[in-house]
Amino acid sequence: MLKVNAIAATSATDPLVRTTVERRDLGPRDVLIEIRYAGICHSDIHTVRGEWGEIAYPQTVGHEIVGRVIEVGNEVTRFENGARVGVGCMVNSCRECENCRAGHEQYCTAGNTGTYASVDRDGTITQGGYSTHIVVDEDFVLRVPEAIPYEKAAPLLCAGITTYSPLAHWNAGPGKKVAVVGMGGLGHMAVKIAAAMGAEVTVLSQTLSKKDDGLAFGGGDYYATSDAATFEALKNTFDLIINTVSAPIDMTAHLGLLRLDGTLVSVGAPPQPLEVPVWALFGNRRSFAGSGIGSIAETQEMLDFCAERGIAPEVEVIGADQVNEAYERVLSSDVRYRFVIDVDTLR
């Protein structure tokens, strides 16, 4: 057992504090990763504040993890010491169910093992990446291309794959009109990836304050959702809307922006339900869908895609003692566009 430095929440309301967590002894298929950077996802905040349900404290979160392999189990074949690697939102799955066998382990019917706040195979609760080291089965470890600097690679492991997966699944590409709702961590990656896929991208943000950024990230248009005229001007326009908002949105208004057979996919995960009046779906035969992270193979595909296209998140690197302040800034939409913890400040 390895005891390593970490940051943890001790209750739903207290600030996160420095502490230690235990990492299991290396199993034959495990790798030990020295973490260099860990991104801050809004899901970390929902989780530690108990917004998605009660959790056990203390809890270390963080599922945008990058670093290097420093030890490998004796049956590990895919990684060697020194490999640049990443770990995203899950660290295991049953591997036997229909979805796992089809390579969709994020949709494991037995539930995938989340990187944090999940019951691990040994019965312990998984502890995430705001820590100096982690032990992970090699099948759930990604290779980080050399072209992507460590700190910029971290947010790809959740924000990148969570937006890449629905954009790929719903065929964002040339000739497709895609809207991205909310331009935070996930949203800004959705804009960059959809534009790189060749789609015509419109950003729908609460205000126009980030318009220059949205256009620089590849958006062709940028509208404020606080202005009712937006919903008139863009009625019946989009093939695909990716909703990344962490709070409920007006579903009737947003669904009205879809053209014939268009789909609104929610990746945003507010604790409250999104209310969908069926009438908003009848017109234009619209669909409302959800999407959760992405498979390991798809995550590798996304990392390689980003490396080839020169796509990377905009990050603000912070020290371990700035995490609580960063949480407040995420909550007030004051993030440009992902906070990433320099884990060297925890050593």
What's the min distance (Å) between Cβ of 272 and ligand NAP?
A: 11
Residues 6 or more apart from 35 whose CB is under 8 A from it? 65, 66, 67, 129, 131, 132, 133, 134, 343
Cα gap 128→138, rounded to integer Å: 16
Sign for the CA dihedral angle at 93, 96, 99, 102 comes to: positive
Which positions from 146 to 165 touch Zn ion by CB under 5 A, shown as an x/- string? ------------x-------
Residue 184 interface partner, choices Zn ion, ligand NAP, none, CB cut-off 5-8 Å depending on type: ligand NAP
Instruction: Return the structure tokens found at 48.
Output: 């530690």
* Beta strands at 30-39 and 65-72: parallel, antiparallel or unpaired: antiparallel
Measuring CA to CA, which residue among 332, 324, 318, 326 is closest to residue 7?
A: 324
Cis ω for the linkage preceding 270 (within 30 of 0): no
What's the min distance (Å) between Cβ of 219 and ligand NAP?
A: 11
Q: Which of residues 33-62 bind Zn ion (CB under 5 A)?
A: 41, 43
- Nearer to Zn ion by Cβ, of 184 and 256: the residue is 184
What's the min distance (Å) between Cβ of 175 and Zn ion?
A: 30
73: left (phi over 0), alpha (psi -120 to 50) or beta: beta
- Nearer to ligand NAP by Cβ, of 245 and 257: the residue is 245
Cis ω for the linkage preceding 337 (within 30 of 0): yes
What's the min distance (Å) between Cβ of 182 and Zn ion?
A: 14
Residue 97 interface partner, choices ligand NAP, Zn ion, none, CB cut-off 5-8 Å depending on type: Zn ion
- Nearer to ligand NAP by Cβ, of 135 and 204: the residue is 204
Length of the chain measured in residues: 347
Q: Which of residues 67-126 bind Zn ion (CB under 5 A)?
A: 93-94, 97, 100, 108
323 binds Zn ion (CB under 5 A): no
- Nearer to ligand NAP by Cβ, of 19 and 206: the residue is 206
- Nearer to Zn ion by Cβ, of 6 and 41: the residue is 41
CB–CB of 137/69 below 8 Å?
Answer: no
- Nearer to ligand NAP by Cβ, of 171 and 226: the residue is 226
Q: 190-222 burial string, b = 16+ CB within 10 Å, else e?
A: bbbbbbbbebbbbbbbeeeebbebbeebbbebb
What's the min distance (Å) between Cβ of 302 and ligand NAP?
A: 13
What's the min distance (Å) between Cβ of 97 and Zn ion?
A: 3
- Nearer to ligand NAP by Cβ, of 113 and 162: the residue is 162
Name the residues that contact ligand NAP, by CB under 6 A: 41-43, 46, 158-159, 162, 182-187, 205-206, 244-247, 249, 267-270, 291-293, 330, 333, 335
* Beta strands at 338-342 and 30-39: parallel, antiparallel or unpaired: antiparallel
Residue 93 interface partner, choices ligand NAP, Zn ion, none, CB cut-off 5-8 Å depending on type: Zn ion
Residue 108 interface partner, choices ligand NAP, Zn ion, none, CB cut-off 5-8 Å depending on type: Zn ion
Cα gap 192→201, rounded to integer Å: 9
Mapped onto helix, strand or coil, the DSSP state of residue 148 is coil
Per rule CB under 5 A, count of chain residues that contact Zn ion? 8
Q: Please give the C-alpha separations between residue 117 and each of 214, 220, 229, in angstroms, as whole numbers.
A: 33, 39, 42
Residue 163 interface partner, choices ligand NAP, Zn ion, none, CB cut-off 5-8 Å depending on type: none
Placement of tokens 């017109």 in the chain: 283
- Nearer to ligand NAP by Cβ, of 135 and 335: the residue is 335
Q: Please give the C-alpha separations between residue 284 and each of 5, 173, 204, 259, 289, in angstroms, as whole numbers.
A: 53, 21, 21, 6, 15
What's the min distance (Å) between Cβ of 216 and ligand NAP?
A: 14
Binding region for Zn ion (CB under 5 A): 41, 43, 93-94, 97, 100, 108, 158
